[in-house]
Amino acid sequence: MDLCEIKARPPLGTNNMQVDVKLPGPTLTFQNIHYSIRENRGPCRRRGPERDILKSVSGIMKTGLNAIMGATGSGKTSLLDVIAGRKDPRGLRSGQVLVDNMVVTSDLRLMSAYVVQDDILMGTLTVRENLLFSANLRLPRKQYSTPDKKKKVQSIIQDLGLEDCADTKIGTEFIRGVSGGERKRCSIGMELITSPALLFLDEPTTGLDSNTANSIIALLHRLSRGGRTIIFSIHQPRYSIFRLFDHLTLLHKGETVYAGPAAEAMGYFQSLGYQCEAFNNPADFFLDVTNGETSSSNPTDKSLAELYRDSQYSTAVQEGLKSITGASEPSSQAKTRAPSYATTFFYQLNVVCRRTLLNVLRNPQTSYAQMALNIFFALLIGLIYFQMPMTLPEALQNRIGAFFFLIINMVFGNLSAVELFINERAIFVHENSGGYYRTSVYFLSKVFVDLLPNRVLPIFIFSSISYYMMGKNANFSRPISYGYVCFCFLCRPDHTIKSGLNPAFTRFLCFALTMSLVSLAGVGLAFLVSASVSSFAMANILIALPFVFMMVFGGFLVNLNSMLNWLSWLKWASIFKYGLDAVTINEMKGLVFEGGNATLTGEMYLQSQGIDYSVWGFWQNEVALLGIILVCMTLAYVQLRRINRWK
C-alpha cells in the first residue's frame, strides 16, 4: 500500500477539506438532499404522513476520512445510504449526488464499496476463503489469473493484519470463530478486493471494544492515505479515533449542524459560545451540544442548523459545490452505466455452488437431521405396516393408510426448507446488490447443492427401506430381522404376491419417483414461502396453512366425490391428492384381494374412488406434481428477484 504523508492542514477556504495525499481519490458532492419516508400504519397498511429524515443536506467529501456523526436517529445512516446509492430512491424529494462531477444513481453501488454495520460473512468459511470468494467473483478473469487472485487476497490479509486468523473460520452460532475486530476487518477486506477508490462504511466501530475500534479507524486512516475517499457514519468515537478524522459532518434531526474540517469543529462551536469542559471528549461534547445538554454563553433564537447555514463553513461548501459543478455540466456517464458482473454466469455458478457445498459439508446438522429423520420414519412405517396382508379388509385399509402416512411424511418433512432463503437473506441481498453474482446463480446453487443431495437422495433411501419392509412374501414370513430387511431390499426371491407391496422393480421405481416428486413439490412451496417473507414466524404460518388444506383435499380424510362442487375443485391444487392417487394406482393395479368368499380387484377399488387407472391416469399425477414444482420454483425465483434491495 502506498502510504503518504499528510501535510499540515491548509487554512479555511474552498479547498480546506483537501487532504494532501500522493494519489487523490474521487470527490463526492451532494447538494440539497431532501429525503422523506412514509410509514405504513395499522393492520390495513394505511399510509401515514410523510416524515422528513434529511432536510437540505449538502456537502463535499474528498480523499481522506470523512465522518458523519450525530445522535441516534439524527439521520447518519440515511445520509450515508443516500450518497452511497443504497437508499430507496422513491424517498428522495430533491438533491443530487455527484462523483467527480458525474451524476450517479444506484449504479454507484457497483463502482464503490459499502461495508454494512452487521458483518455479513459466510460463518462456515475461513477468513481467506471468504476473501477468495469475493476475489473470484469480483475480479475479471481476463485480468486476474487464479494465482493473481490468491496473491491479492494474501496482500489484503497482510494489509489488514489478519495473518494469524487467515485460516480460522468466521464462526456461526455453533462454531466459535474469529473475534469481532477480525470479523470487521474481514468485512472491510471483502470490499477492498476490488480496490475501490470510494468506500462507505456504516458504523464500522459499533459493537467493538475501544482498542479494536481504534485499530479499525487507524486501518481506514492508512487506507485513505493510499488515495481513497472513505465515508462512514460513527456514533460516539473516543478522542484517539476522532483526531484521525479529516472531515466531519454533524447531523441533528436530519439537518447539518456542522460540515467542515474535523479539527476546526471545536473552534466553531466555541465561537457559538459553547465551552468544552477540560478532559471532555470532543465527540461527546458535540453530541451534548446537538442534544441541548450544554448551553451556549451567547443564547440566540436560531437553531444550530440555522447558525450553520449562516456560517463560513456552509458558505465554503456552497462555493465549493459551485466551483465543482459550475465548471462543467454534470456528466451522466455513470447513470447510463448498465449494472454488470465481473464474471460469467457459469463461472459464478461454479464458485457459488462450491461455497454452498462447503457450507453444507461444514454445517451438516441439517443434512444429518434430514437423513436421520427419513431413516427413522422409514423404519417406523416399515415396522407399523410390516408384512402387509392381502386379505380384506385390512389389505385396503393398511395400504391406503400407509401411503397417506408416507405422503404426510414427505410433505411435512420438508418444513425445514422454509429456512433456506430466510437464513441467508442478508448475505444474498448484500452480495447480489454488491455485484458478486446474479440472482439466478444463487437460486440454482441452492437447487443443485441443497435440494438434490439434501432432499432427493434421502427420499430414495426412505423409499427403499419403507417399500421393501412393507412388502413381504408369504414364503419368507419369519420374525423381523435386520438380515431379512436387507434381503428383501436386495432381492425379491418370489414374485408371487401373497402379501406385501407389489414387488416388481418398476413398481418400486414408480413409487420412489412419486415420493420424490411429492417431496420436491413440498420443497417448492417451502422455497416460495421462504423467498417471499423475511421472518420464520410468518413463514411457518404461510407454509402450514396450504399443507393442511392440501391434506384435507388429498382424498384420504374425505371422499372427494361426495364433496360440495364449489369446494371440491381445491383438490386440483393438492400435492397429497396427486401423490396418493399415483401410489395407489401403482400398487393396486393388477392386485386381487380376498376376504371370506368375496374377492376384490385393485381396479374395482380404484374405480369406486373415481381414480383413473389408465397409463395416462397414473402419469398425469406425476405431470401435475412436476407442474407444481416448476410453478413454485419459478415463483420462488421471481420472489428472490423482487426482494427489496433498498435500505
Ligand X SMILES: Nc1ncnc2c1ncn2[C@@H]1O[C@H](COP(=O)(O)OP(=O)(O)OP(=O)(O)O)[C@@H](O)[C@H]1O
Which positions lie near ligand X, rule CB under 6 A?
37, 39, 53, 70, 72-78, 233, 235
Least distance in angstroms from the C-beta of 280 to ligand X: 21
Residue 555: phi and psi, rounded to 5, are 100, 0
CA torsion 41-47-51-57 (nearest 10°) is: 130
DSSP 126: B
Q: With respect to ligand X, which residue has the nearer C-beta, 245 or 637? A: 245
Q: Which is nearer to ligand X, 7 or 51 (CB)?
A: 51
Cell numbers of 434, please?
A: 454488491
**Closest approach of Cβ 72 to ligand X, in Å?**
4
Q: What is the dihedral of CA 127, 130, 160, 79, to 10 degrees?
A: -130
| Shortest Å, Cβ 248 to ligand X | 15
Q: Which is nearer to ligand X, 71 or 585 (CB)?
A: 71
**CA-only gyration radius of the chain, Å:** 33
Closer to ligand X by Cβ: residue 37 or 563: 37
Question: Between residues 39 and 293, which has the closer beta carbon with respect to ligand X?
Answer: 39
C-beta of 37 vs 474, nearer to ligand X: 37
Angle at 117 between CA 112 and CA 122, to 5 degrees: 85
C-alpha cell at 301: 433564537
Work out the burial of residue 354: count CB atoms within 10 Å of its CB; fewer than 13 is exposed, 13-18 middle, 19 or more buried: middle
Smallest gap from Cβ 74 to ligand X, in A, equals 4
Q: Which residue has the cell 423404519?
A: 379
We find the least distance from the C-beta atom of residue 76 to ligand X, in angstroms, to be 4
DSSP 393-453: THHHHHHHHHHHHHHHHHHHTTGGGGHHHHHTHHHHHHHHHTTSS-HHHHHHHIIIIIIII
Beta strands, E only, 564-634: 592-595, 598-601
Nearer to ligand X by Cβ, of 37 and 384: the residue is 37
Q: How far is the CB of 205 from ligand X (least distance, A)?
A: 12
Closest approach, Cβ 303 to ligand X, in A, equals: 18
Distance (Å, whole) CA 411 – CA 448: 20
Q: What cell does 583 get?
A: 401410489
The least distance separating ligand X from the CB of residue 46, rounded to whole angstroms, comes to 15
- The smaller minimum CB distance to ligand X, of residues 245 and 385, is found at 245
What is the smallest separation between the CB atom of 254 and ligand X, expressed in angstroms? Answer: 7
Q: Which CB atom, from 75 or from 413, has the smaller least distance to ligand X?
A: 75
Q: Which is nearer to ligand X, 7 or 41 (CB)?
A: 41
Strand (E) or helix (H) holding 51: strand 46-61
Q: Which of 120/360 has CB closer to ligand X?
A: 120
Measured between its terminal Cα atoms, the distance across the chain in Å is 33
Distance CA 81, CA 77 (A): 6
Do the beta carbons of residue 274 and residue 289 sit within 8 Å?
yes
CA distance 608 to 611: 8
Q: Length of the chain, please? A: 647
Q: Give the Cα separation of 79 and 58 in Å (integer).
A: 10
User: Which residue, chain included where needed, has cell 420443497?
Assistant: 523
Alpha helices in 238-328 (DSSP H): 239-242, 265-271, 282-291, 304-309, 312-327
Shortest distance in whole angstroms from residue 289 CB to ligand X: 16
The least CB distance from residue 119 to ligand X, in Å, is 16
